[in-house]
């Protein structure tokens, strides 16, 4: 059974640009959550999608958005990138509200 | 700051047991988790425990939960050099979000 797949693995963007990250959950999992990991703030919850609906949102500015498709794949978008958005972005997939399996992450560097 | 607290570092000798401790604040948390993160990698789910349990054992791993004190621990028996990593404790709240501790860096010395 394939795990959670995140693409791309690495990204370099310049300030002011926008970026889209992709997450394919484990087959049969309908919940996808996104987290930002930085050395200073640790792991912080961004948002969760279930059956194409955003079910919960963390405390991030509106520049961070996401969506989920009918096949449960999810994308997150960050607009008007700032240097402080440099981080490892992790996606987690769950079938029910029990285990959460993470992908390898996308490392975003904003220069 | 985090709602989940962990000590930042732990160093043990190969073959010894490691115990990583965690305290959380949300008494309504449904599930509590332990994840392992190696350099450059994502989070690997090691084990999780439902909040109405007080112990779970899985091979070398033992999780103890003291719900009254909101204390969770992970014991790794016969610790190996390959166990060196950062270990994260996490709780799942009523909103289904997961809140993580800052991580404990485990160093295993030969």
Contact B6, B22 (CB under 8 A): yes
Q: What is the pLDDT of residue A1?
A: 64
Distance CA B66, CA A75 (A): 38
Q: Look at residue B1 and tell me whether its pLDDT is greater than 50.
A: no
- B81 three-state secondary structure: helix
Residues B73-87 have a mean pLDDT of 97
Report d(CA A74, CA A33) in Å as an integer: 9
Both tokens assigned to A4: 């959670």
pLDDT at A83: 97
Cβ atoms of B57 and B105 closer than 8 Å:
no
% chain B with pLDDT above 90: 81
Q: Which two tokens stand for residue A13?
A: 């963007």
Chain-chain contact of A33 with B97 (C-beta, under 8 angstroms): yes
Chain centroid to Cα A19, Å, comes to 11
Closest CA to B45 of B7, B80, B67, B74: B74
Binary contact (A42, B103; C-beta < 8 A): yes
Tokens matching residue B69: 């004190």
The answer to which of A10-14, A94-98, A107-111 has the lowest mean pLDDT is A94-98
Which residues have CB under 8 Å from A15's CB, separation 6+? A81, A82, A83, A110, A111
Q: Quick one: pLDDT band at residue A50, thresholds 50, 70, 90?
A: very high
Contacts of B31 by beta carbon, 8 Å cutoff, 6+ apart: A97, A98, B48, B49, B50, B51, B91, B92
Q: List, for residues A27-44, the tens digit of each pLDDT value.
A: 999 999 999 999 989 999
Judge: A42–B102 Cβ closer than 8 Å, yes or no: yes
What residues does A7 pair with on adjacent strands?
A22
Share of chain B above pLDDT 70, in %: 98
Q: What is the mean pLDDT of residues A50-61?
A: 94
* Model pLDDT, residue B3: 78
Chain A partners within 8 Å of B98 (Cβ): 33, 35, 45, 92, 100
């Amino acid at each position: 059974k394939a795990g959670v797949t995140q693409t791309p693995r690495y990204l370099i963007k310049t300030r002011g640009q926008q970026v889209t990250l992709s997450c394919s959950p484990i087959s049969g999992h309908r919940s996808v959550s996104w987290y930002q990991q930085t050395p200073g703030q640790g792991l912080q919850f961004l948002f969760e999608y279930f059956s194409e609906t955003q079910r919960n949102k963390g405390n991030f500015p509106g520049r961070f958005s996401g969506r989920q498709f009918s096949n449960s794949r999810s994308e997150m978008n960050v607009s008007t990138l700032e240097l402080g958005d440099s981080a490892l972005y992790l996606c987690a997939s769950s079938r029910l509200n029990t285990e959460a399996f993470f992908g390898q992450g996308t490392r975003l560097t904003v220069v | 700051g985090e709602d989940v607290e962990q000590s930042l570092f732990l160093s043990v000798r190969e073959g010894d047991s490691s115990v990583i401790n965690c305290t959380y604040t949300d008494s309504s948390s449904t599930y509590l988790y332990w994840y392992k993160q190696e350099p450059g990698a994502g989070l690997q789910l090691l084990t999780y425990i439902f909040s109405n349990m007080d112990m779970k054992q899985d091979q070398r791993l033992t999780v103890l939960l003291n719900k009254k004190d909101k204390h969770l621990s992970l014991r790794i028996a016969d610790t190996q050099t390959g166990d060196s990593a950062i270990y994260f404790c996490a709780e799942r709240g009523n909103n289904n979000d997961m809140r993580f501790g800052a991580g404990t860096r485990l160093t295993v010395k030969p």
